[in-house]
A and B are shown apart, each in its own frame.
Chain A
Amino acid sequence: MDYLIDTMDNKYEQLETIGRGNFGEVYKCRDREKNTFASMKRILFRYQDDGVPGSVIRGVALLKELDHPNIISLLDVLDDEKWVDLVFEYLEMDLWRFMGTYPRIGKDPNLTKSFLYQILSDSYRILHRNLKPRNIMVDVDKKIVKIADYGLARPVDAPVAFTYQVLSPGYKAPELLIDAKYSTPVDIWSVGCIFAEMVTHHPLFNGQCEHTAIMEMFSLLGVPNVETWPGVTSLGINLSNPEALVSGVRRSLSDVVKGLEPTGIDLLAQMLCLNPCRRITARDALIHAYFRNA
């Protein structure tokens, strides 16, 4: 079976390792022909008896179908007996590092607006569940953001030492934190958190555990009740003593997210609606007044 011998070593020059996870490793590499960089994610097959893992087959097939300017694209798939290499377009900077590296440009209101629009225009196509600044890549020159959060496309599974960051509930919607049923509104919530962070360059919620995260949400957005969120009482939060669920001084969104124009605050409030059924959809968010003068 000569045709199965891989040719990757010729096509791509492997450079440094840029990530490591329980699936395998991520390398930065150079396309010898085009002289461009790419990132290569190597996924090892653990259990030889099962052949190619189903998750890999479905994951790659899904990536193949996605074709959107705001999604990191899959350039190539190379296979070997013991692994597959997924070659993705390479962007050096994620949104988290971008905000740290360019504190001034990063706070430009028009850039924030543009980035938010780009993230929203893609996000309704798929359920991400885990959107956060680290999973959004930035093309600094072109001012384009690309979501790199499609299962296998996730650039770096955080190393074990940082698991707290993966589990950090900072961008997770309330219905995810309380184990309720969830769907695409969870992504709108995360995008809302990212939106606020792009304005202030500080995470909106820092909660280290699910309980403190819920308290932070309720302190900022109010404790939900049967009117604002029908059925909330059956979701396992004890709402009989609302005072116990808030901490610190009550502040409004406009106090916390300083410098955001009023239409932006309105959009943000609709994205951070605790009740997922009343949360704004990506489609509606894209035609919100905030984007009108963009």
Chain B
Amino acid sequence: VCLLSKEREAFLGRSDLNSNGSLMVAGTEAIEWMLRVIAHYGFTFMTTLLAVNYFDRFKSSLCLQRENPWMSQSAAVACLSLAAKVEETQVPLLLDLQIRFYIYYFTCNVDESKYLFDAKTTQRMELLVLSTLGWNMNPVTSLSFIDHIIRRLGFKTHLRLEFLQRC
């Protein structure tokens, strides 16, 4: 019961996001970028899940200046950086993430999207994301349910870990 109510909190305002087309497009682009960087660094699935979760929650709970790709991309950098810090043991510097970001857009020839944020700006964005999400950085996700169910099934710890790794 506790998990369910927490999950609802974590996904509040989804419908809001869907109703705005341009926001959706900007979001998709940003998430695509996040996935590429994640693949490049070999981050875990949990990091991906968190980064996308932060991004979704951030976009839906904040009245972003609509159609502001700068904001959207800056938020994507911040969300990914936050997720990596929560989940990964080795986290690249903010600027390294940035360079990936830059190269991605450069190779895609998307002229208008070439933003490079300095560490200070990204840190500000991180703080904005953190406070917008109320610092709740361990949301209940589908994985939490799977984990809970496996625990209930009474698997041994190493089996559980193995199972989660395959998810």
Whose C-beta in chain B lies nearest to the C-beta of A77?
Answer: B135
Given A45-B123, A61-B135, A65-B138: A52 and B130 interface contact (C-beta under 8 Å): yes
Task: Please measure, in the bound complex, the distance between the C-alpha atom of A79 and the C-alpha atom of B126, giving whole angstroms.
Answer: 11
Task: Please measure, in the bound complex, the distance between the C-alpha atom of A57 and the C-alpha atom of B127, giving whole angstroms.
Answer: 10
Cross-chain contact A48 with B86 (CB below 8 angstroms): no
Cross-chain contact A58 with B127 (CB below 8 angstroms): no
Q: B124: which A residues are within 8 A, CB to CB?
A: 1, 4, 81
Cross-chain contact A51 with B138 (CB below 8 angstroms): no
Which of A3, A4, A49, A53 makes the CB contact (< 8 A) with B95? A49
Which of B91, B95, B131, B136 makes the CB contact (< 8 A) with A54? B91
Let me know if B120 is at the binding interface, CB within 8 A: yes
Residues of A within 8 A of B (CB): 1, 3-4, 45, 48-54, 57-58, 60-62, 64-65, 77, 79, 81, 84
Given A4-B127, A54-B86, A81-B123: A49 and B94 interface contact (C-beta under 8 Å): yes
Let me know if B151 is at the binding interface, CB within 8 A: no
Cross-chain contact B128 with A4 (CB below 8 angstroms): yes
Q: A45: which B residues are within 8 A, CB to CB?
A: 123
Q: A52: which B residues are within 8 A, CB to CB?
A: 82, 85, 123, 126-127, 130
Chain A to chain B contacts (Cβ below 8 Å), 23 pairs: A3-B128, A4-B124, A45-B123, A49-B93, A50-B119, A51-B85, A51-B126, A52-B82, A52-B85, A53-B85, A54-B91, A57-B86, A57-B130, A58-B86, A60-B130, A62-B138, A65-B138, A77-B131, A79-B127, A79-B131, A81-B120, A81-B123, A81-B127
Specify which of B85, B86, B94 lies most central, judged by the most chain A CB atoms within 10 Å of its CB. B85
The 8 lowest CB-CB distance pairs between A and B, nearest first, are A54-B85, A61-B137, A51-B123, A79-B127, A60-B135, A52-B126, A49-B119, A51-B126
Q: How many B residues face the partner with a CB closer than 8 A?
A: 24
Tell me the smallest distance from the CB of B53 to a CB of chain A, in Å.
13
Task: Please measure, in the bound complex, the distance between the C-alpha atom of A48 and the C-alpha atom of B118, giving whole angstroms.
Answer: 10
Cross-chain contact A51 with B81 (CB below 8 angstroms): yes
Let me know if B122 is at the binding interface, CB within 8 A: yes
Tell me the smallest distance from the CB of A205 to a CB of chain B, in Å.
33
Task: Please measure, in the bound complex, the distance between the C-alpha atom of A54 and the C-alpha atom of B93, giving whole angstroms.
Answer: 12
Tell me the smallest distance from the CB of B6 to a CB of chain A, in Å.
9
Q: B78: which A residues are within 8 A, CB to CB?
A: 51
Let me know if B21 is at the binding interface, CB within 8 A: no
Q: B122: which A residues are within 8 A, CB to CB?
A: 51
Cross-chain contact A48 with B120 (CB below 8 angstroms): yes
Whose C-beta in chain A lies nearest to the C-beta of B137?
Answer: A61
Task: Please measure, in the bound complex, the distance between the C-alpha atom of A97 and the C-alpha atom of B109, giving whole angstroms.
Answer: 66
Tell me the smallest distance from the CB of B81 to a CB of chain A, in Å.
6
Tell me the smallest distance from the CB of A95 to a CB of chain B, in Å.
29
Cross-chain contact B82 with A48 (CB below 8 angstroms): no
Q: B127: which A residues are within 8 A, CB to CB?
A: 4, 52, 79, 81, 84
Tell me the smallest distance from the CB of A51 to a CB of chain B, in Å.
4
Let me know if B154 is at the binding interface, CB within 8 A: no
Tell me the smallest distance from the CB of B31 to a CB of chain A, in Å.
20
Tell me the smallest distance from the CB of B119 to a CB of chain A, in Å.
5
Task: Please measure, in the bound complex, the distance between the C-alpha atom of A58 and the C-alpha atom of B88, giving whole angstroms.
Answer: 11
Q: A61: which B residues are within 8 A, CB to CB?
A: 86, 135-138
Whose C-beta in chain B lies nearest to the C-beta of A51?
Answer: B123
Task: Please measure, in the bound complex, the distance between the C-alpha atom of A3 and the C-alpha atom of B63, giving whole angstroms.
Answer: 12
Q: B42: which A residues are within 8 A, CB to CB?
A: none
Cross-chain contact A79 with B86 (CB below 8 angstroms): no
Can you list, as one digit per residue, whether each of B108-126 has a CB less than 8 Å from chain A (1) or not (0)?
0000000000011011101
Which of B119, B128, B136 makes the CB contact (< 8 A) with A48? B119
Tell me the smallest distance from the CB of A125 to a CB of chain B, in Å.
14
Cross-chain contact A48 with B123 (CB below 8 angstroms): yes
